[in-house]
Structure 1
């Protein structure tokens, strides 16, 4: 069993760089996400929940094209069709915000959802994966002015050519990024949804830690 799993994981060409990665399984395919070491509180909390099997069978309960897909609400596991979701996990201790200028809401970013608390502390369990859209230089100029910081030339290039959701930067903690399987996000985000952006058909997840295959 272990050998088969290593061979399967080796298909993704996972580098031996010491970084923590997870595999998000869905009916639409598998997503490989790298967790950032600099956001250690979010990384360690996410890994803990993954090891506990917390996310298994939970839903991606909110999908918005050109924005993001969101999941991790523990109440979604047994939710009835059409039931409003998104407030689950509120009894869990929030994670302090970990903002880094180098981590932006580019296409494929993994970030923590949160409620409207003044400290901008994150939900302990709900997360989202960014699809976003291409941003114009003028839009970036306006966001910089509103937020009081400057993007690097490379970050501006990312937003104006690849896309993302820059209006969320420094308000929600980015703690990882998709390395493989963004096409899966694109498939999920196109699913039919109701007026509250919940998919009409349940889109469940299972998350496991990913270990690089042993070199032969």
Structure 2
């Protein structure tokens, strides 16, 4: 009987310790555990909406048993779709964002180097605000880039920015306009004029030299820069990401053998 009462007392104590308040003035870390090993990330303090959302999900066990459902070697390892817990063979996961999004927190100081923790999101055409899928996230594996490849990535970034501005301005104009469908062309023309005016002020984006050096020596996915939220970075477990990125996948980039998140742990040092 004494043992039972002791268990009843100690159990809640451990549970309370596990979810003790965090000191947000200090770095917060999360360890994601898989059969291939553990990956530990540090969450950025200047992306608090994403940081707090990820902490809440991890502490609630939302990722336990969920798959990394999309794996592309040299690019990303993506997971977090709640539906993937069903692990149905042949199913293309990635369509469930948990039923909500997180407002974009795109910071100029963060970029998509190897080990970046980034959001997953719908494309700019339907999501010009670039809000993040509530539960999904990616580890950037990336690869080392040559200067020629970085020049191409730079062109791609500028093209993505141009198209994003168009969809953003079009949505804003559509929200204010009472034009009928027949005048859709005029609305788009106005949006493009706004794009060109904006770009003439902003100038062409160029990847900074210090960032180029990171992409040349460490690697990453530079074409993503500026288009999504980077809210943390890997501090331990790069080898685990590399092993996950090398698994066999089907034509939809889903691992042939399920890559399961066993658990997550939030902590501070």
Bin for the TM-score computed over the shorter chain: 0.7 to 0.9
2:111 alignment counterpart: 104
Paired with 1:122 and 1:128, the residues of 2 have a C-alpha distance of 11
Q: C-alpha deviations, 1:68-112, integer Å up to 9, x for none? A: 1000000000121111101012x5221111111110000000000
Calculate the TM-score normalised by the size of structure 1: 0.86
- Per-residue deviation, 1:135: 1.5
Where does the alignment leave 5 or more consecutive residues of structure 1 unmatched? 2-16
Query: What are the residue-to-residue correspondences of 1:53-202 with 2, within 5 Å?
Result: 53-89=61-97, 92-116=99-123, 117-145=127-155, 146-147=157-158, 148-202=204-258
Paired with 1:129 and 1:195, the residues of 2 have a C-alpha distance of 20
What is the RMSD of the two structures over their aligned residues, measured on CA atoms? 1.6
SS at match of 2:133: coil
| Higher helix content, 1 or 2 | 2
Aligned residues: 196
Paired with 1:93 and 1:55, the residues of 2 have a C-alpha distance of 16
Where does the alignment leave 5 or more consecutive residues of structure 2 unmatched? 1-9, 11-24, 159-203
Query: What are the residue-to-residue correspondences of 1:24-39 with 2, within 5 Å?
Result: 24-39=32-47
Calculate the TM-score normalised by the size of structure 2: 0.70
SS at match of 2:66: coil
SS at match of 1:21: strand
Which structure's CA Rg is the greater one?
Answer: 2
